């Protein structure tokens, strides 16, 4: 996959031939090709229904969306191959962290002109932040994601653990102390979901440990990890994070995919996608709090799939209309969120989901309004996450944070330097 991505970046760098505004003249009666990732079946059905409604609503104009799904593991490669062949669809889904790579390769048209002031005020700030590169908006999403620390109130009471006050979080020291109390009481403290296949989970779920401690994964321009990834503050934060595993508060090789739901552990470091299941199982026993803070304040991760318009779209007007439709409150967001249980991307959509007035759902909304961060904007994200996730996995298993972060930093910087050439070293 990475080989193909490098191919299309090298081929297309500097080859941007248009934008939505410039392609609007090609907007006569026609169909547009739209590519989507093949998510859960309920999500796929919802998207087909949304597309069918779009086609029916615009039948008099001759506008039609031709929707094609590709499995997640093929999707990025399909985009790369199509870009190299000069045959991109008119619009396509984008895994949020990869947006900068597509923008860097000039594959996307900006969407700024399509957003009114009321649109900007309605979208969650995390949706706009994820979609913005160098001050321009290139993507919009229909939903977002967030992570909390679920807990079992009954298990806490049994172990004499008092949760923080409403909607507050523990310091890292308080969190570790609670884990120790639970362990001493014969209760397994925590599920962290460190599955071997879940590489992106490491970066998504545990970057907040770095951010909360005052560190970063990469420089602000997305082109330097030297002196950043293996910084003293990051080493300190991940040394504290490693304590979870040294003290056996969480399993590094879990067997049960949902030990919290099966009443085997007292806490679950997990996302919105588990809220419905946990509520159904635990009812009033279920509690939720923000992630523990390593430093100044709790930080949550966010980010999900979003929609963009190809810079070479043959019919940008219809493609833009599709993006507006699929990210519209009534036309796209509400039916999609009803299908996949994610967090609505627009504030106006929350009225359709009264559960967001109470915990745990309210906490997800509050995080996305105030304390969540998307993964870094960098064209080298695929390389960064692969090495950072590998370092986290090894640190959880006992590797020295200083050594392992330094190794990851060196490997990522090598890739950046090869791509950018001598200029990369001159700026360091």
CATH of domain 147-301: 3.40.190.10
Domain residue extents for the chain = 2-145+303-352, 147-301
Give the pLDDT band of residue 428 (cuts 50, 70, 90). Answer: low
pLDDT tens readout for residues 239-295: 999 999 999 999 998 889 999 999 999 999 999 999 999 999 999 999 999 999 998
Specify the residue for token string 């490491």: 202
- What is the rounded average pLDDT of the residues 189-216? 93
d(CA 147, CA 162): 21
* Shared fold status for 2-145+303-352 and 147-301: yes
Checking if the pLDDT of 15 tops 60, the result is no
CA distances from 264 to 161, 229, 243, 254, 272 (A): 17, 35, 20, 12, 20
Give the pLDDT band of residue 303 (cuts 50, 70, 90). Answer: very high
Q: What is the pLDDT of residue 424?
A: 60
CA distances from 297 to 161, 270, 290, 292, 367 (A): 21, 19, 10, 8, 12
The strand pairing partners of 179, in sequence order, are none
pLDDT tens readout for residues 360-400: 999 999 999 999 999 999 999 999 999 999 999 999 999 99
CA neighbor of 201 nearest in space, from 123, 124, 274, 307: 274
Q: What is the pLDDT of residue 277?
A: 96
Count CB atoms within 10 A of the CB of residue 83: 25
Give the pLDDT band of residue 166 (cuts 50, 70, 90). Answer: confident
Q: Are 230 and 395 in contact (CB under 8 A)?
A: no
Between residues 178 and 22, the one the model is more confident about? 178
Checking if the pLDDT of 92 tops 50, the result is yes
Q: What is the pLDDT of residue 146?
A: 96
Q: What CATH superfamily classification does 2-145+303-352 receive?
A: Periplasmic binding protein-like II (3.40.190.10)
d(CA 147, CA 321): 32
Burial class (CB in 10 A: 0-12, 13-18, 19+), 407: middle
d(CA 345, CA 334): 9
pTM as predicted: 0.91
CA distances from 65 to 29, 68, 92, 320, 371 (A): 12, 10, 11, 11, 36
Give the pLDDT band of residue 18 (cuts 50, 70, 90). Answer: very low
């Amino acid at each position: 996959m990475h080989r193909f991505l490098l191919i299309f970046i090298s081929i297309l760098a500097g080859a941007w031939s248009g934008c939505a505004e410039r392609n609007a003249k090609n907007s006569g009666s026609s169909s547009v090709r739209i590519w989507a990732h093949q998510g859960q079946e309920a999500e796929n059905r919802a998207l087909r229904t949304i597309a069918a409604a779009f086609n029916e609503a615009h039948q008099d104009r001759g506008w039609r969306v031709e929707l094609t799904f590709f499995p997640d593991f093929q999707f990025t490669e399909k985009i790369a191959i199509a870009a190299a062949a000069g045959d991109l669809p008119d619009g396509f889904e984008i895994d949020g962290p990869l947006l900068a790579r597509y923008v860097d390769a000039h594959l996307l048209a900006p969407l700024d002109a399509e957003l009114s002031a009321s649109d900007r005020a309605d979208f969650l700030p995390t949706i706009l932040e994820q979609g913005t590169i160098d001050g321009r908006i290139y993507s919009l999403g229909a939903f977002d994601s967030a992570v909390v620390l679920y807990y079992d109130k009954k298990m806490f009471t049994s172990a004499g653990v008092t949760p923080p006050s409403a909607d507050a979080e523990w310091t890292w020291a308080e969190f570790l102390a609670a884990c120790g109390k639970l362990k001493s009481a014969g209760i397994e403290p925590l599920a962290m979901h460190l599955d071997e296949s879940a590489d992106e989970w490491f970066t998504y779920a545990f970057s907040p440990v770095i951010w909360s401690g005052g560190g970063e994964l990469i420089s602000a321009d997305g082109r330097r990890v030297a002196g950043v990834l293996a910084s003293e503050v990051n080493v300190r934060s991940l040394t504290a994070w490693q304590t979870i595993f040294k003290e056996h508060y969480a399993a590094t090789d879990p067997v049960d995919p949902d030990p919290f739901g099966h009443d085997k552990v007292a806490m679950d470091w997990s996302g919105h996608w588990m809220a419905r299941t946990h509520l159904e199982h635990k009812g009033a026993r279920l509690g939720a709090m923000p992630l523990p803070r390593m430093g100044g304040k709790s930080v949550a991760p966010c980010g999900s799939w979003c929609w963009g318009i190809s810079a070479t779209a043959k019919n940008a007007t219809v493609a833009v209309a599709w993006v507006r439709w699929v990210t519209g409150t009534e036309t796209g967001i509400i039916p999609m969120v009803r299908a996949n249980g994610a967090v609505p991307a627009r504030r106006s959509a929350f009225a359709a989901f009264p559960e967001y007035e109470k915990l745990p759902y309210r906490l997800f909304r509050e995080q996305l309004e105030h304390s969540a961060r998307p993964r870094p904007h960098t064209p080298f994200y695929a390389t960064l996450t692969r090495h950072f996730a590998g370092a986290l996995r090894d640190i959880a298993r006992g590797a020295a944070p200083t050594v392992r972060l330094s190794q990851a930093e060196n490997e990522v910087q090598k890739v950046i330097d090869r791509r950018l050439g001598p200029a990369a070293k001159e700026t360091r």
